[in-house]
Structure 1
């Protein structure tokens, strides 16, 4: 009887895990404002998450001492899953930002709830940690999330900065959290922003 019960529990667990895997395929359909560097189309959320995970591996040496890059990668792979339900919120859209947290909390409840309890709770805890930005791991993950679209905007000669009239002060304000995680990455960002202004990719102030 116990063996049969174990088999049923295992089958249910696997069924829920596969259901979650199929559900998160929808992340490939969520388009961000960011252009691919070849400017052929907009990036989707799955591509963004993969790119960030690779950045964590490549740029690990610029994290604070003691940062667990494995945990950072897991956070980065999970952090945008909520956008399957909540949609992508453009960083410089103050109106959409107003209810972003409520939309994403509701999405997290549904999506991580698809998994078996212990596993879903663990994923949700990592997502919450990323959002709170109170640990060194989360701070580095969030910093990379802010660096990546800036690289795209620079290498597409302004990209969404130009399209939406974003200014230097706006970028600095929303990107400053990078400094809390990695002074060396922040110094790189500051130099890149100065160069973006010099080349005309980013306006110093609104016209």
Structure 2
């Protein structure tokens, strides 16, 4: 068994210029994502998931799917995008996929990312750039992220008897429309989704309209 390597020490010249109070303040700012509740319910519970939990689930799901399907993607970039995906919601809050205000959500979220980027304790220089790539980019990584981001809440609904769909009277056509792009991005997942849209409609979880 090889000996454990010691953790490298920080650059002392650089460290002398960094206020750890600023660092910990930024970490608490990130912690605020745990207070942003989404519409989806956690399986086997009566509580809604928060956006920090969703970000973790998104990162893990993207990683697993990328490896399982042997996708030619940059895993580091993919995971970074998954982790920053919902950070703008710290300021903007979560916007329901089928809300009329959905198309405008990016404005407040982008402003929230800019605020976090400007924090003195933030050590992620490319925070805004990574967020913009997942939001508006066309890379293989951003395309996969969007597919998985739509898959996960669908999966949670399917396993909570359509709880969010039923509460908001979501229709079959609304869900099918929101997932339509996946037909070209990831056909096997789209086929599975289409089959289960019909199942959810038959169960009465989606309004048949």
Q: Give the TM-score category using the shorter length.
A: 0.7 to 0.9
List runs of 5+ in structure 1 lacking aligned partners: none
The aligned residue for residue 8 of structure 1 is 16
- Name the CA shift for 1:6/1:51 in 2 (closer, same or farther; >3 Å): closer
Runs ≥4 in structure 1, deviation > 6 angstroms?
A: none
What is the TM-score when the length of structure 1 is the normalising length?
0.86
List runs of 5+ in structure 2 lacking aligned partners: 1-10
State the aligned residue count.
199
Matched, 1:193 2:197: yes
Matched, 1:102 2:107: yes
**CA distance in structure 2 between the partners assigned to 1:97 and 1:49 by the alignment:** 19
The aligned residue for residue 4 of structure 2 is none
The aligned residue for residue 5 of structure 2 is none
Instruction: Deviation per CA, 1:32-72: give whole Å up to 9, x if none.
Output: 11111114211111111111112112222466842123321
Matched, 1:172 2:176: yes
Kindly indicate which of the two structures has a greater share of residues assigned to helix: 1
Q: Are 1:112 and 1:124, in contact at CA under 8 Å, matched by a contact in 2?
A: yes
Q: Are 2:23 and 2:121, in contact at CA under 8 Å, matched by a contact in 1?
A: yes
Matched, 1:20 2:26: yes
**CA distance in structure 1 between the partners assigned to 2:12 and 2:30 by the alignment:** 31
- 1:38-53 map, 5 Å: 38-53=44-59
- Name the CA shift for 1:79/1:4 in 2 (closer, same or farther; >3 Å): closer
The aligned residue for residue 54 of structure 1 is 60
Q: Secondary structure at the match of 2:193?
A: helix
- 1:61-140 map, 5 Å: 61=67, 65-94=71-100, 96-114=101-119, 119-140=123-144
